[in-house]
Chain A
Amino acid sequence: MTGAALFRIFLLASLFSFGGLGGLPILHQQLVDQTGWASEATFAQALAIGLISPGPNGLYVVSLGYLLLAWPGAIAAALALMFPPLLVLPMAAAYERLAHQRRVQSAVHALGLAVAGLVGYSAFAILRGTVSDWVGIGIALCVFALMTRTRIHVIVPLAFAGALGVLVYR
């Protein structure tokens, strides 16, 4: 296993993924089934760290890279993640050229609406998957209220939620 080989696999997965976790099936196939470089446990660990570390959840790939090849692996993953989103540049350029057409404006507005629907549904799905009791309902409501009504930093309510978790679930 080399950094370059990992980079190629991470780049392939990122190129064929939409959203943070979309590349998971490709990575799993390449790293577990084909090369045997990673185990199921490695994946689970990387996904968990991706959730708690700062930044997009898709950075779980960085954790995976670290588990497989220490810092060179983490850096190979970070570099591989940087390239596919650059495709947004030609897309934005095309939009600029066509932005005066009302069909194009309308299409991009409709895209924004569909994104709103999908984010709304993912909020529902995450709440359904994470809230299992009254404490959870309280935590979710408090974080929601604080994030929509105050300018408080994200870290503060999450730190309180973590502390409450220690008190309640230990």
Chain B
Amino acid sequence: MKPTRKPPGGAPATSIPLVQQWLSWMWIGATSFGGGAATLILIRREWVDRRRWIGAVAYDRALALSQVVPGITILALAIQLGRFARGYAGILVALVGLLTPSVVLTGALTAAFSAIQSLTLAHAALLGVAPGTGGLTAALALQVVVSAFSTGFPGWYRLRDLAIVAASIFAIAVLGWPAPVILIAALAAGAAIPERSR
């Protein structure tokens, strides 16, 4: 195999077997009921906590970069993790592995939906699941907030970091700015008020 370019995070491409990566992505794709929050929680558990295939700092950076490209954030994250683990073969395995079960299940559910739709039971079940996805997103938020602050500098920089979080919430909740504008503004603010070198 040709040596791959240095992936984000500075570590070389790993020797994690492609079959293991593929199985991991299939598992995530098939079981991440509950939308994007569920998927992100599962990916972090698999890649960072359980299998330790990537460090938390490199993972967080990949997640941050995923936010500023068009399309589905989670696919951009999967692309980066796949590349980190095994170059272009890793990217292919990540995309195909993650999407195959999700696409098949989404198609099958759509096919079955006209039958389900008429049932009040399914509607009642969805009413129960909806607040659950709210709790799930709150859990994801806690995880993202904790890891965003854990990599910051102490002292005055903490105040700057808090100000960026507060300003982004203000911009979306009160000013109603589109998310990409807020993210680009944050990039500019971070570049304008730099930290010491890491």
Q: Which one of A1-9, A10-18, A29-37 is at the interface?
A: A10-18
Taking CB atoms, residues of chain A closer than 8 Å to B55 are none
B121–A59 contact, CB under 8 A?
A: no
B75–A108 contact, CB under 8 A?
A: no
Given contacts A14-B71, A54-B32, A84-B71, contact A116 B195 (CB under 8 A): no
B124–A113 contact, CB under 8 A?
A: no
Taking CB atoms, residues of chain A closer than 8 Å to B80 are 88-89, 92
B69–A84 contact, CB under 8 A?
A: yes
Find residues 1-41 in chain B having any chain A CB closer than 8 Å to their own CB: 5-8, 10, 29-36, 38-39, 41
Taking CB atoms, residues of chain A closer than 8 Å to B127 are 165, 168-169
B66–A143 contact, CB under 8 A?
A: no
The residue from A57, A93, A95, A106 contacting B193, defined by CB atoms under 8 A apart: A106
B186–A113 contact, CB under 8 A?
A: yes
B141–A120 contact, CB under 8 A?
A: yes
Given contacts A51-B35, A155-B33, A168-B124, contact A112 B75 (CB under 8 A): no
The residue from B31, B128, B139 contacting A153, defined by CB atoms under 8 A apart: B31
Contact-size category for A: 35 or more
Find residues 54-88 in chain A having any chain B CB closer than 8 Å to their own CB: 54-59, 62-63, 66-67, 71, 74-75, 78, 81-88
B134–A105 contact, CB under 8 A?
A: no
Taking CB atoms, residues of chain B closer than 8 Å to A87 are 69-71, 76
B67–A115 contact, CB under 8 A?
A: yes
Taking CB atoms, residues of chain B closer than 8 Å to A89 are 79-80, 83, 91
Taking CB atoms, residues of chain B closer than 8 Å to A75 are 103
Q: Kindly state the separation between the CA atoms of A54 and B6 in the bound complex, as whole angstroms.
A: 32
B151 within 8 A of A: yes
Q: Kindly state the separation between the CA atoms of A147 and B74 in the bound complex, as whole angstroms.
A: 19
Most interface-central of B34, B111, B193 (chain A CB within 10 A): B34
Contact-size category for B: 35 or more
Taking CB atoms, residues of chain B closer than 8 Å to A16 are 70
Find residues 72-127 in chain B having any chain A CB closer than 8 Å to their own CB: 72-76, 79-80, 83, 91, 95, 98-99, 101-103, 105-107, 109-111, 113, 117, 120-121, 123-127
Q: Kindly state the separation between the CA atoms of A74 and B193 in the bound complex, as whole angstroms.
A: 46
Taking CB atoms, residues of chain A closer than 8 Å to B135 are 127, 139-144, 147, 157
The residue from A81, A104, A110, A123 contacting B138, defined by CB atoms under 8 A apart: A123
Find residues 93-129 in chain A having any chain B CB closer than 8 Å to their own CB: 93, 95-96, 99, 102-124, 126-127, 129
B6–A162 contact, CB under 8 A?
A: no
Q: Kindly state the separation between the CA atoms of A170 and B128 in the bound complex, as whole angstroms.
A: 10
The residue from A85, A104, A141 contacting B75, defined by CB atoms under 8 A apart: A85
B196 within 8 A of A: yes
The residue from A20, A51, A116, A143 contacting B72, defined by CB atoms under 8 A apart: A20
B188–A107 contact, CB under 8 A?
A: yes
Given contacts A115-B63, A154-B31, A169-B124, contact A91 B69 (CB under 8 A): yes
B106–A59 contact, CB under 8 A?
A: yes
B172–A55 contact, CB under 8 A?
A: no
A52–B42 contact, CB under 8 A?
A: no
Shortest C-beta distance, A80 to chain B (Å), equals 9
